[in-house]
Amino acid sequence: MPWPGAGASPGRTFAYLPPTVLPISLPTSSPSPVRKQRPVSDSFVIMTELVLPNDTNTLNNLMGGRMMHLMDIAAAIAAQKHSNRIVVTASVDNVSFRDPIRLGNVVTLQAQVTRAFSSSMEVHIDVWAEDIPSGTKLKTNEAFFTFVAVDQSGRPIDVPEAVPETAEEVSLYEGALRRRQLRLVLAGRMKPSDAAELKAMFELV
């Protein structure tokens, strides 16, 4: 077909080629990373110790400082199992000393993560004292520890979400947010008016 443009030479024909359309790749926003989940039972730790003379006070009872040391170790192991990271102790609260632990008793500590936030984890610990010769065993201590997962430079790093499965685990999980808000209020890092979970609990009383 003759080219319709002006200035065409007589007797010459031109073929019209449509313009080539190249595909354009539009930028796409990368999806936000999905937070990993891990059952709280995966963090369960049992630690056993024998109370020796150098662990006791002048009354032959386990010293409170030594007990705290053992609880800190057991809780830290539970937090590490959940996060697969280095952890540091952030706070200790609700420590109860119900009965003395005697020289020669076998101490069993059971620790497990109750709930994980962005980089912190709450760990619940139960302590049992057993007198093997008499066949008696009683619960002597209970506490909540908070740990923060950090990278190799010591900076906080995200941890997997904790998933409760049993009724007891769900109860501890639900109470963890109230305990966290109480810690923040007492530390001056949260206004009491902003502690919604605490306020709701008192309104029910």
Residue 61 is predicted with a pLDDT of 97
Q: Kindly state the percentage of the chain with pLDDT values over 70.
A: 77
Q: Where does the pLDDT of residue 179 fall: very low under 50, low under 70, confident under 90, or very high at 90 and above?
A: confident
Enter the tokens of residue 52. Answer: 């020796």
Q: Which residue stretches of the chain are H helix?
A: 64-83, 167-186, 196-204
Per-residue pLDDT, 7: 52
Alpha carbon of residue 54 to chain centroid: 34
Q: In 3D, which of 151, 140, 148, 126 has the Cα closest to residue 74?
A: 126
DSSP-based three-state secondary structure for 91? strand
Residue owning tokens 């066949």: 135
Q: How many Å apart are CA 56 and CA 105, to the nearest integer?
A: 11
| Order of all β-strands in the sheet with 45-50 | 45-50, 106-116, 120-131, 136-150, 86-97
Q: Can you identify the CATH homologous superfamily of domain 37-164? A: Hotdog Thioesterase (3.10.129.10)
Average pLDDT (9-17) is 54
Write the Ramachandran bin of 137: left for phi over 0, alpha for psi from -120 to 50, otherwise beta.
beta
Q: Across the chain, what does the average pLDDT equal?
A: 86
pLDDT value for 2: 52
The first and second tokens of residue 17, run together, are 């080629």
pLDDT per residue as tens digits for the range 125-176? 999 999 999 999 999 999 999 999 999 999 999 999 999 999 999 999 999 9
Reduce the DSSP state of residue 160 to 3 states and report it: coil
What does residue 59 show for φ and ψ, rounded to 5 degrees? -95, 10
- Which region among 55-64, 86-95, 146-155 has the lowest average model confidence (pLDDT)? 86-95
Q: Tell me how crowded residue 200 is: count the other CB atoms within 10 A of its CB.
A: 10
Entry pTM:
0.77
Q: How far apart, in whole angstroms, are the C-alpha atoms of residue 155 and residue 117?
A: 15
pLDDT of residue 176: 92
Q: Give the pLDDT band of residue 32 (cuts 50, 70, 90).
A: low
Taking residues 93-102, what's their average pLDDT?
A: 88
The CA-based angle 140-93-51, given to 5 degrees, is 35
Query: Is residue 69 over pLDDT 90?
Result: yes
Q: So what's the pLDDT on residue 30?
A: 55
How does residue 178 score in pLDDT terms, banded at 50, 70 and 90?
confident
| Least confident interval from 25-34, 37-46, 60-69 | 25-34
Give the pLDDT mean for 9-15.
Answer: 54
Name 78's Cβ contacts closer than 8 Å, sequence gap at least 6.
43, 44, 45, 111, 112, 113, 123
Minimal CA–CA distance to 92: which of 192, 183, 185, 195?
A: 183
Backbone angles phi, psi at 124, to 5 degrees: -100, 140
Does the pLDDT value for residue 5 go beyond 70? no
